[in-house]
Structure 1
Amino acid sequence: MLQELDTTPKPGLVDRSDQGAHADMDYACFRRSIEAVVPYFAATGALAAGKSPDEVLWRKVRKIGCEAETAMFSATGGVNTHKGQIFVLMLLVAAASSEGASGIPGLQKGIRIMTRGMVYKELGNGLHNKNELSHGERLFLSHGITGVRGEAEAGFPVIFECGLPVYTAMLGSGYSVNDASLQALLAIMCSAEDSTVVHRGGLEALRFVQSSSLAAVALGGVRTEAGRNYLYAMNREFILRGLSPGGCADLLAGTIFVHEAEKELRIHGRA
């Protein structure tokens, strides 16, 4: 979580340089949030250790996740800094700690089992009869966007197929952790169906974020001067338009976690 926060410059997102497209949160607020929620991930790992990665485990993990959200809101004065990231990382921590976690295939299998049917249960099951809908529910009904729930049920393909290969390759080529994280974020932004972006600016905003990211990658991203200059220009434009790809930031944190978890699993003979 700290590495994701420190990655700079992240277009439209809070980082070490600025508040991105946010008026109600800054770097210090994110640090308080992270400090408040960290103990809940340790509790999740302890709970999942040696257990089958099934829906029963996920219900228990989600209860811990709700407690983490309460701690987050208390630390930030009611500001939602990490709700999506808590969801992503709770799932990944539970999958990595559970019985049968063996490298990337084991992680993805555990995630899919725990989230089986999540989209239908939480977004497609009788929502038309509800008086009040969440942002995610409204987006599903109006545009068919499944957001992070759809990503989770599919086994986080954007993490494993977009973010992780780029992040690993960048580190292997000698780039800094910051540059590897930024390049991975661009890869994620090219593909992710970020419901935070759609909520703020509609489908047109999502297309703009994706096309801007593709253009940055085409210029080389952090690997070239032109790409870096474009990244700074993206940040200015995203702030001007009020666009914050927070869902992509959550998937970047997930990418970083998976990279570290895979190393630990290999050390302990579970890769």
Structure 2
Amino acid sequence: MAVRALYFEVKAYPKPGLVSFVDAGAHHDMNGETFYRSLFTLRHYFYQITKKGLITHSFEELKQIAIEAEQHMLEKTWGVNTHRGAIFALGIVCVSVIRLAQEKKQFTPLDVHRQILNDWPRHLKNHLGNPESHGALVRRKYKVIDAKHMAMHGYDLIFQLLPAFISLFVETQSLDTVCLFAYSELLLRMDDTNILHRKGKLGLNYAKNRTAKLLAIQCVKTRQKKALELHQVFSTMGISPGGVADLISVLLFLGQLFCEQLRDYPNLKKF
């Protein structure tokens, strides 16, 4: 389901500024084919990290599996970072889900949220990471919440959006519609460090203002049409909310877990 979530994310279109199978969005170094090669390398990663997560709580051992997955990804994409953020976020969620599933036959999104909060904050608090990474530099400069701190808070924003995300899919049966909804809500509610790194605070505020106007459109068809226009604008300006894309993947993973219709959606390839 984790790999399918990554496939769903790149398949959905439009997501203003982001890569899809239709076009490369704001990027010149990657496209849909790059993402496709990348996600195939991650099939073994999610199996390995969940298997290891059942037998050990050693953060260092799990981190090493993620580092190796990142290296395999970079080999297949010729050095392009397509899924580093997803390796981190989906890896965390997958491990917590499998641990929960070992204890309970049935569980709720709230159970998953609590499991993440139980599993990860104490480890992540002591994890320094790379202080020179784009995310770390942006966090220090703009005093925003980065991927690490989102995980430490149990991805509470994801769990706030999940019920509406599932309801909208059940209503529309449209991957494009629910991913555009998720894209818009996430961009408005978080400070995307990729946009901040590329375009600064002014660029992020511009992206949020344009996205707020998009989300205010009630008609789904009109919103999709305006999203296509915004996609061209963001792509030309170089605005690409990569952090948002990572969390869309997490929503798609949890959506499959708790929504049978999304899990069995017939128009999508199964991995």
Measured against the shorter chain, the TM-score band is 0.7 to 0.9
Displacement of 1:119 after TM fit? Answer: 6.5
Q: Give the distance between the partners of 2:196 and 2:122, measured in 1 at CA.
A: 23
The alignment-based identity, stated in percent, is: 25
Which sits farther off after the overlay, 207-216 or 10-19? 207-216
* Number of the residue aligned with 1:23: 28
* Number of the residue aligned with 1:89: 90
* Number of the residue aligned with 1:262: 258
Does structure 1 conserve the Cα–Cα contact (< 8 Å) formed by 2:38 and 2:73? Answer: yes
Alignment deviations for residues 24-61 of structure 1 (CA, whole Å, 9 cap, x no partner): 00111110000011111011222223x58xxx344332
Distance 1:95 1:231, change over 3 A: same
Which sits farther off after the overlay, 80-89 or 211-220? 211-220
Displacement of 1:118 after TM fit? Answer: 6.1
* Number of the residue aligned with 2:154: 155
Does structure 1 conserve the Cα–Cα contact (< 8 Å) formed by 2:14 and 2:224? Answer: no
Does structure 1 conserve the Cα–Cα contact (< 8 Å) formed by 2:21 and 2:33? Answer: no
* Number of the residue aligned with 1:268: none
Determine if the alignment matches structure 1 residue 145 to structure 2 residue 144. Answer: yes
Which sits farther off after the overlay, 98-107 or 69-78? 98-107
Extract unaligned runs of 5+ from structure 1. 265-271
**Number of residue equivalences:** 251
Distance 1:2 1:207, change over 3 A: same
Alignment deviations for residues 50-99 of structure 1 (CA, whole Å, 9 cap, x no partner): x58xxx34433222111110110000000000000111100110010014
* Number of the residue aligned with 1:72: 73
Does structure 2 conserve the Cα–Cα contact (< 8 Å) formed by 1:29 and 1:76? Answer: yes
Displacement of 1:117 after TM fit? Answer: 4.7
TM-score, normalised with respect to structure 1:
0.85
Runs of 4+ with >6 A deviation: none
* Number of the residue aligned with 1:267: none
* Number of the residue aligned with 2:119: 114
Does structure 1 conserve the Cα–Cα contact (< 8 Å) formed by 2:21 and 2:31? Answer: no
Which sits farther off after the overlay, 254-263 or 80-89? 254-263
Alignment deviations for residues 165-203 of structure 1 (CA, whole Å, 9 cap, x no partner): 332111221331222222222221221221111111111
Distance 1:195 1:14, change over 3 A: same
Matches within 5 A, 1:183-202: 183-202=181-200
